[in-house]
Amino acid sequence: MNVAIIERGAAFLGAIAVGVSAIVQLKNDWKARGLDADVTKLLLGLMAFGCVLALLAAANVLGARS
């Protein structure tokens, strides 16, 4: 096996695990009020967005060389 394939597979699985946990926490904290809760929601949303980018990179859609 190629090392790049193993690395992409690990990134794919890690992005799924972190993304699902970020979305679940965002759903749980959605009704919270206050500045600290708003910052937490923003950071969880950015984490979920980063996981989408990591999934696209692991699937060789984003950052693929031709």
Between 4 and 21, where is the model more confident?
Answer: 21
User: Would 2 be classed as within a structural domain?
Assistant: no
Domain range for 20: 7-58
pLDDT digits (tens, 9 = 90+) for 5-17: 899 899 999 999 9
In-domain check, residue 17: yes
Count: domains in the chain: 1
Using alpha carbons, list the distances in angstroms from residue 62 to 36, 56, 59: 33, 5, 8
Q: Is residue 63 part of a domain?
A: no
pTM comes to 0.83
Give the burial class of 2: count Cβ atoms within 10 A of its Cβ; 0-12 exposed, 13-18 middle, 19 or more buried: exposed
Phi and psi angles of residue 6, each rounded to the nearest 5 degrees, phi first = -65, -40
Q: What share of the chain is helix, strand, coil (3-state, %, to 5)?
A: 75, 0, 25
The answer to whether residue 64 is domain-embedded is no
Task: Examine residue 27 and state whether it is found in any structural domain, yes or no.
Answer: yes
Q: What would the pLDDT profile of 11-57 be if each residue is shown by its tens digit?
A: 999 999 999 999 999 999 999 999 999 999 999 999 999 999 999 98
